[in-house]
Structure 1
Amino acid sequence: MNDNLKALAYRLRRDVLDMVCQAKTGHIGGDFSVMEILVSLYMDEMNISPENQNQPDRDYFILSKGHSVEAYYSVLAAKGFLNRDEVIAGFSRFGSKYIGHPNNKLPGIEMNSGSLGHGLPVCVGIALACKMDERKSRVYTVMGDGELAEGSVWEGAMAASQYGLDNLCAVVDRNRLQISGSTEDVMHHDDLAARFTAFGWNAVSAAGNDIDSLLKAFERARETKGKPTVVIAGTTKGCGVSFMENQAGWHHKVPDAQQYELAKKELKEREEAFIHESDSKQTGNL
């Protein structure tokens, strides 16, 4: 099954590529770094679907790094919340509901986001409310590592520890790049695991572009009692396209026609490699 999810992550990157190129805008580098995180959460980890989205005991998710909305829309469409063709054709068009940050008027989106530093504090409130109401819900947020320079993140982190919110899991998309360059040059993060641990959290490291590693990390988060968990997911900005990877310039940039064709080709090859691997395993099990 995981090979199918790995293949899906690359198919959805191609949807993002189409979205960004038709709209001539988008944060493609961060979209590609966060894709496996979103696929793992929505397609395996979280109890959330179009069928239960209004049930109080569902899981909750907020994309705090809301500028990676193209990846978010693509995953929501794959999950059945949104119409894929509408998303690709309508993204960032004048008057479209598929705006450049999460729009909570769309199915499956809990809140508008994009003003960095807000996702974790809001999730603390949701997780605390779930505890008070004795709901089984879990609460998840994904933050960018550049976002961690915001003080509200650490106020939220202190409160989450204070209230023992073991139903809360934060994920840091640790691609080490932001629009102005290296996160370590803009605002040095030291050892993030040690920092969150000092704030009273359980810290788990994962390979953020490896679905197997992510699912193991989420399992450890669920098993942890008495404190919240942060998954520090080491990712590659622009993951999946050779000329985009680890390049800060692709934080917000649109491929030209030649780059589009090359990116599409590379993503398709990676998707097909995982499909072939999955088929080979199934054949071997017969």
Structure 2
Amino acid sequence: MPREVTSFSNETVKRIRALRDKKARKSQGLFLAEGLRIIAEARDCGFLPEIVVFARGQPLHPLAASIVADAEAKGADVIETTPAILSKMSGKDNPQAILGAFRQPDTSLASINRDASPLWIVAQSLRDPGNIGTILRTSDAVAAGGLILIDDHADPYSVEAVRASMGAIFTQAVATTRWEEFIAWLRSGKGQLVGTSLKTDTDYLDAEYEQPCFLLIGNESQGLPPAYEDECDLLVKMPMLGKADSLNAAIAAAVMSFHIRSAWRNAP
């Protein structure tokens, strides 16, 4: 049976509230996902929350009720609380009806199965969690294997990134590493490293993409460092026909990912 929490000073309330902070997520090994759609996506992918919270006072949606029952059967801490306390936990004035705290998976390169997909997205020094979540959503849409985050970056398990991923945080592998480690790992097996750059004459529409392809997207404001471009097997350019000199990193990843898939589908 769910346990009832009615106090703002309850330790679990404080613990969940703290998960909005990266340091707390790291120390607890947990992250927050809010809303029935994302939590249902998680269950479909085999993930159940370790803590699940819902508001009392209104009937649970049948899907939410089944998720709560499954989580409870797996030993989750199931909490029924007031809308005000749920708002406190989520940090939103109008919180979703259900939220869950999930165990963070292994994000080492060793956890990546490079044979799981012919396409992977690699992003260098992304600072915007919304971009990370959106790229994860794109990665899911093109059936890529997942996202490899290089160097310093926003937390892919922040509330903002998880929300922007629309559930793809549970369908996509995520790895975090430094550039030197990534290059050593990449060159230990098959894989074409494709970078986007303005310093090439190769149009992205004319290039040939091999499998597996590792699509490298640069930092939102600075793009790829020259040394990183030098390591690429192929550099391509998306011509800017208007006044803008570049695309948003998440948009660039989407355009490139769908084109690479299209190029393979239309290949002789």
- Structure that is richer in strand per residue: 2
Question: Relative to total residues, which structure has the larger helix share, 1 or 2?
Answer: 1
When Rg is computed on C-alpha atoms for both structures, the one with the higher figure is 2
**Does TM-score exceed 0.5, indicating one fold?**
no
- What TM-score do the two structures reach when normalised by structure 2? 0.31
Normalising by structure 1, report the TM-score: 0.30
